[in-house]
């Protein structure tokens, strides 16, 4: 079958060039007579891949020397626990800004570890349709850190600028929008991202951390969960997920080849503009519940007049090769995830289908 137009929310579509490169050298990488998966994580062939992946992340995001790039396991769900385990002292509290389901999960895990202050919860009425303004945040100047979720895959909302947290470290779950555009990494104490949306396959977690923050982390937790362990060992303390790291390398190389993050931003804005215009220009047939200014350029959510029409829309779109459009089971509706690897042509095809369907 020809490749479909894949709007999956994550694991998501990957650049074809990254996949084809992997397929072509699947049994024999670099003339070594074996798959990258069969190489020791401490051997030269894999180490070159590992270090190139890190170097490409550093280059694309212009990561400053103050910060370290880590390649870990366990996804954002594990970071929900290890962030407070490392940085939330027994006599402290951490600020959490709640903008969607994933923020709530981060709060739940943090509460098991220590004391949490909800600096803002925009979904108190049960619906997450916006990002809060700076003045709404009840930030504690003595907080251990402030935690935000930069993009909300289920709600379809996204922070377009980040809050000012003064001298308190800002920690961000960027699982679903990291590298959608250039970023000032220096503003963050720690950034984490499950790879499976914008940058690679599942099974790999990218962490970018301020080394000064790491040095102040707790030392009474298992070594495997201390960020300092992984900073000190270039993420080779234990066996890394070598194939997912290899795929990250391939995706980063493809992003660089395509013009880097400035090019990603330009294309992502064009895709989102096209799709939101089609929704807003449909005389109310398609409706996006998210407020203007808070709308995600990664996950575009919208509704049709009835759930029955939504199910019919998804079925007919699938028949045309537009797949993965069903909204999250908790909210229903339609969701088009248009990460970096989704080309403009797919969004054009979706918009064309939406007009036809209406």
Q: How many residues are present in the chain?
A: 358
Catalytic residue among 197, 271, 326, 346: 197
Which residues are CB-contacts of 319 (< 8 A; sequence separation ≥ 6)?
Answer: none
Decide if 304 contacts 313 (C-beta within 8 A): yes
The two beta strands, 205-210 and 67-72, are: antiparallel
| Residue 159 falls in the annotated catalytic set | no
Give the tokens for residue 141: 């100047």
Query: Closest CB to a second copy among 182 and 321?
Result: 321
Catalytic residue among 95, 159, 173, 346: 173
Query: Closest CB to a second copy among 69 and 240?
Result: 240
Query: Closest CB to a second copy among 41 and 187?
Result: 41
- The closest of 76, 73, 148, 83 to 111, measured between CA atoms, is 83
Which residues are CB-contacts of 332 (< 8 A; sequence separation ≥ 6)?
Answer: 303, 307, 310
Give the tokens for residue 357: 């369907």
The two beta strands, 205-210 and 190-194, are: antiparallel
| Residue 102 falls in the annotated catalytic set | yes
Task: Quote the Cα angle for 318-324-329, to 5°.
Answer: 115
Decide if 112 contacts 137 (C-beta within 8 A): no
Query: Closest CB to a second copy among 66 and 239?
Result: 239
| Residue 197 falls in the annotated catalytic set | yes
Closest distance of CB 342 from a second copy, Å: 11
Residue 227 to residues 171, 243, 249, 318: CA-CA distances in angstroms?
A: 14, 22, 22, 43
Closest distance of CB 254 from a second copy, Å: 14
Query: Closest CB to a second copy among 19 and 143?
Result: 19
Query: Closest CB to a second copy among 90 and 292?
Result: 90
Write down the number of H helices and E strands in the chain.
Answer: 10, 13
Give Cα 228 to chain centroid, integer Å.
23
> Assign residue 10 a region: left if phi > 0, alpha if psi is -120 to 50, beta otherwise?
left
Three-state DSSP at 127 gives: coil
Residue numbers at the binding site for a second copy (CB under 8 A): 1-4, 6, 8-14, 16, 19-20, 22-23, 26-28, 31-35, 37-41, 43, 46, 73-78, 80-81, 85, 108-109, 112-113, 194, 196, 201-204, 220-225, 237-244, 247, 321, 323-324
Residues noted as catalytic:
102, 173, 197
């Amino acid at each position: 079958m020809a490749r479909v137009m894949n709007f999956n929310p994550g694991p998501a579509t990957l650049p074809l060039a990254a996949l084809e490169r992997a397929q072509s050298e699947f049994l024999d990488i670099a003339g070594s007579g074996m798959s990258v998966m069969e190489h020791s994580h401490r051997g030269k062939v894999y180490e070159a891949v590992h270090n190139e992946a890190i170097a490409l992340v550093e280059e694309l995001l212009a990561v400053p020397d103050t910060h370290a790039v880590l390649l870990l396991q366990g996804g954002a769900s594990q970071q929900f626990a290890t962030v407070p385990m490392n940085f939330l002292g027994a006599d402290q509290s951490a600020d959490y800004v709640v903008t969607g389901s994933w923020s709530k999960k981060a709060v739940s895990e943090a509460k098991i570890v220590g004391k949490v202050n909800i600096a803002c919860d925009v979904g108190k009425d049960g619906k997450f349709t916006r990002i809060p303004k700076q003045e709404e945040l009840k930030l504690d100047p003595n907080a251990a850190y402030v935690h935000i979720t930069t993009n909300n895959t289920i709600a379809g909302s996204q922070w377009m600028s980040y809050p000012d947290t003064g001298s308190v470290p800002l920690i961000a779950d960027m699982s679903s929008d990291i590298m959608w555009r250039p970023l000032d990494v220096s503003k963050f104490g720690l950034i984490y991202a499950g790879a499976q949306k914008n940058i690679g396959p599942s099974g790999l977690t990218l962490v970018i951390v301020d080394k000064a923050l790491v040095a102040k982390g707790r030392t009474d937790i298992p070594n495997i969960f201390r960020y300092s362990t992984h900073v000190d060992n270039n993420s080779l303390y234990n066996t890394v997920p070598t194939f997912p790291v290899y795929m990250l390398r391939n995706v980063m190389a493809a992003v660089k080849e395509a013009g880097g993050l400035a090019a990603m931003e330009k294309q992502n804005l064009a895709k989102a503009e096209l799709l939101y215009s089609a929704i807003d220009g449909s005389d109310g047939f398609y409706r996006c519940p998210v407020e203007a200014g808070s709308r995600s350029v990664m996950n575009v959510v919208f509704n049709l007049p009835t759930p029955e029409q939504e199910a019919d829309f998804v079925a007919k779109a699938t028949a045309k090769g537009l797949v993965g459009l069903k909204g999250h089971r908790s909210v229903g509706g339609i969701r088009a995830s248009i990460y970096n690897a989704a080309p403009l042509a797919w969004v054009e095809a979706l918009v064309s289908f939406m007009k036809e369907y209406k």
